[in-house]
Chain A
C-alpha cells in the first residue's frame, strides 16, 4: 500500500477516488437518463433522490480529489508522447476537473431553484443554495443537460485513450491506475 503519489505512481487514495468516482459518475449518468424519461411517479421520485444523493456525494469526493491532487505529486505522462498529445491530455484532464464540479453544482442549483428538499441518502439534509425561481431552474437544467453530453463525450475519449495506451502504445499507463500494482511494477 502506497498512500502518496510519486512522479511515477498513483498512491492508493488517488486510485480509490478515481474508481469510486468512475462508478458513481456512470451510475449517476445512467440513472439520470432513465429517470428523466419516466412519467411522473413515485419510482421517478426515488430515482431522482438517489441521483441527487449520488451527485452530492460526488461533489464531496471531487473536493477531496482535487485537494489530494494539490497535496501530491502528479505522476508524469510517458516520455515519448508528442507535444500535442501532452497538451490534449492536460486539457482533457483539466476539463474533467471542471465537470466534476460543474455537474453536481448545476444539479444542486436545479434542485434549489425548484425549492425541493435535498436529503443525501436519508442521512443529511442539505440547505438550498438559491431562492425559488422557475427561470433559474430552467437555465440550470439546460446547463446540466448540456454538460452531460460534454461529460459523456469526454469520458468516451478518456476510455478510448486509455485503451489505446494499453493495447496500441503498450506504455503501461492504464495499469498505473489499476489497484495493487503500484511500486513493484517497474
Chain B
C-alpha cells in the first residue's frame, strides 16, 4: 500500500511540475490603456488563446505561448475601431495575429509589485521585440489560477500608427498592456 502511494505520488509529480493551464476566456481580460489627444482610453482584445505552462516550484519548465487575434480589438468607440484595421495602424489584412512567446520565466527580483517576470518576444504587425512582462500568479483553494500583470510598450516599436500617426500628441506612444487571466488546470 505504501509502495502504491509513493508510486502514485511519483507519477503525479511531473504532471504537477509542468502543469498545463487552460484560460477561462469569459473571466479573462487582455486589455490596454492608451492616450488619444492626451486623454486616456481603454481597449481590449476579446479573442486570444495560449499554451500556458506554469509552476511556481519549477519556473525553469514554465512557458507561455500566447496568440492574440488582433481583429478582436475593441476600444469602445466605433469611430476609433474603424481606423484600427487600416495599414497605418494594425494592417489587419496582413497581420491578424499577434504573439507573445516566453524564453525565460523567473522571479521578478527587480520588481516589488510582482512576484514573477516573463521574458519573451512580442510580435505585432510583423515586428518582433523582446518584452519583459512582470506578473503575479495565485492559485486558490479550488486549484484555479489567477494571473495578473502589466507592461508598458511603445507602440511605434511595432509600427502601430505609422507616418503622420507617429506624432505622440495625437496618440501617445506609451501603451500599458494589462493581463488579467483566470486559468484552470488542464484535466
Contact = CB atoms under 8 A, between A and B. Distances in A.
Interface stretch (B38-46, B133-141, B143-151, B179-187): B38-46
Contacts, number: 64
Interface string B74-85: 011111100100
A40 B169 CA distance: 15
Interface string A111-145: 00011111100100100000010100100000000
Contact of A117 (B35, B78, B166, B167): B35
Interface in B85-117: none
A45 B170 contact: yes
B77 A119 contact: no
A41 B170 CA distance: 9
A122 B38 contact: yes
B79 A116 contact: yes
A132 B36 contact: no
A40 B164 CA distance: 10
A148 interface: no
A160 to B, nearest CB: 36
B37 A116 contact: yes
Interface residues of A, number: 20
B173 to A, nearest CB: 12
Interface of B: 35-41, 75-80, 83, 164-167, 169-171
Contact of B39 (A43, A46, A119, A132): A119
Contacts of A134: 78-79
B105 to A, nearest CB: 35
A48 interface: yes
Interface string A42-55: 11011011001000
11 contacts: A40-B83, A42-B167, A42-B169, A45-B37, A45-B170, A46-B37, A114-B79, A115-B75, A116-B79, A119-B38, A134-B79
Contacts of A48: 37
A137 B77 CA distance: 11
Contacts of A115: 41, 75-77, 80
A43 B164 contact: yes
Q: Determine the main DSSP class of B at the interface with A.
A: mixed
A82 to B, nearest CB: 49
Interface in A19-45: 40-43, 45
A49 B79 contact: no
Given A42-B167, A45-B169, 15 more contacts: A45-B36, A46-B167, A52-B37, A115-B76, A115-B77, A116-B39, A116-B77, A116-B80, A117-B35, A117-B39, A119-B40, A122-B38, A125-B40, A134-B78, A137-B79
A118 B38 CA distance: 8
Contacts of A118: 37, 39
A48 B38 CA distance: 12
Interface centre among A41, A42, A118, A122 (most CB of B within 10 A): A42
A46 B169 CA distance: 7
A46 B170 CA distance: 6
A132 B170 contact: no
A122 B40 CA distance: 11
B165 A42 contact: yes
B177 to A, nearest CB: 18
A116 B167 CA distance: 18
Nearest to B36: A117
Nearest to B39: A117
Contacts of A40: 83
Contacts of A42: 164-167, 169-171
